[in-house]
């Protein structure tokens, strides 16, 4: 079998750079502020390249959403891969919070949740996240099984998301708040956190 022609390889790399630029801009400025011109500048490609590879801005934002959803699931998988041996309920809560929250500092987490809240305004982005959610749920489900917990992945994601939005709006430490909320669910009834 012959390797792909060099021109085809460059085209794949260019398309990938455009999607990566769109994903970064969705996180930084939100989907409503993403433009062909901004994506082209960020990807360092001619403006025409964004319309060559994507029929519309919605298609491009959708591809960016697919990439972001995949990254979210891969992050959860990478956290799950670090679990080794028995751990405490506190450690379970912190591990689950770390798996669902995005990598990075508070600024990265803030950007993640700001764009998630606004994603519903973009049909393409919302559809990409809805489709990509299965990957996150699978990764969180595998982590729950590894930890020996019977919670549903959907519940864990909802608890972490809610705790993150609450912490962001109230000026609290996001990771600590998410772990504390999970701890309340993980501890036996009548036990205090």
Residue 192 belongs to some domain of the structure: no
Q: Is 177 in contact with 164 (CB distance < 8 Å)?
A: yes
Q: Is 39 in contact with 53 (CB distance < 8 Å)?
A: no
Residue 1 belongs to some domain of the structure: no
pLDDT at 87: 84
Percentage, residues of the chain above pLDDT 90 = 66
Phi, psi of 54 (to 5 degrees): -135, 130
pLDDT tens-place string over residues 32-74: 888 999 999 999 999 999 999 999 999 999 999 999 999 999 9
Higher pLDDT, 170 or 188: 170
Instruction: List the domain range (segments joined by +) for residue 85.
Output: 6-186
Residue 153 belongs to some domain of the structure: yes
What is the number of alpha carbons within 13 Å of residue 146 lying toward its C-beta?
21
Residue 103 belongs to some domain of the structure: yes
Q: The domain spanning residue 99 has which CATH number?
A: 1.10.357.10
pLDDT at 111: 81
pLDDT at 29: 84
Residue 193 belongs to some domain of the structure: no
pLDDT at 189: 56
Mean pLDDT, range 167-189, rounded to an integer:
92
Residue 84 belongs to some domain of the structure: yes
Mean pLDDT, range 113-137, rounded to an integer:
88
**CA–CA distances in Å: residue 57 to residues 21, 63, 143:** 13, 10, 36
pLDDT at 122: 86
Mean pLDDT, range 5-28, rounded to an integer:
86
Q: Which residues of 92-118 are buried (b: 16+ CB within 10 A; e: fewer)?
A: bbbbbbbbbbbeeeeeebbbbbbbbeb
Does the pLDDT value for residue 86 go beyond 80?
no
Q: What is the separation of C-alpha 62 from the centre of its chain, rounded to a whole number of angstroms?
A: 14
Q: What is the mean pLDDT of the chain?
A: 89
Does the pLDDT value for residue 126 go beyond 70?
yes
Total domains in the fold of the chain: 1
Residue 163 belongs to some domain of the structure: yes
CA dist 139 and 129 (Å) reads 15
Residue 191 belongs to some domain of the structure: no
Does the pLDDT value for residue 172 go beyond 90?
yes
**Considering the entire predicted model, what is its pTM?**
0.83
């Amino acid at each position: 079998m012959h390797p792909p022609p060099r021109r085809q390889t460059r085209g794949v790399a260019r398309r990938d750079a455009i999607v990566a630029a769109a994903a970064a801009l969705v996180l930084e400025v939100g989907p409503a502020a993403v433009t062909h011109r901004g994506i082209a500048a960020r990807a360092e490609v001619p403006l025409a390249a964004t319309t060559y590879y994507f029929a519309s801005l919605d298609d491009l934002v959708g591809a960016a959403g697919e990439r972001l959803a995949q990254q979210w699931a891969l992050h959860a998988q990478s956290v799950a891969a670090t679990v080794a041996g028995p751990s405490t309920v506190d450690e379970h809560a912190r591990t689950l919070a770390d798996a669902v929250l995005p990598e990075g500092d508070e600024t990265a987490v803030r950007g993640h949740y700001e764009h998630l809240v606004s994603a519903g305004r973009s049909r393409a982005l919302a559809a990409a996240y809805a489709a990509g959610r299965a990957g996150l749920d699978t990764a969180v489900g595998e982590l729950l099984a590894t930890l020996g917990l019977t919670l549903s992945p959907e519940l864990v994601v909802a608890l972490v998301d809610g705790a993150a939005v609450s912490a962001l709006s109230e000026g609290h430490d996001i990771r600590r708040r998410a772990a504390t909320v999970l701890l309340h669910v993980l501890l036996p009834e009548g036990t205090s956190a």
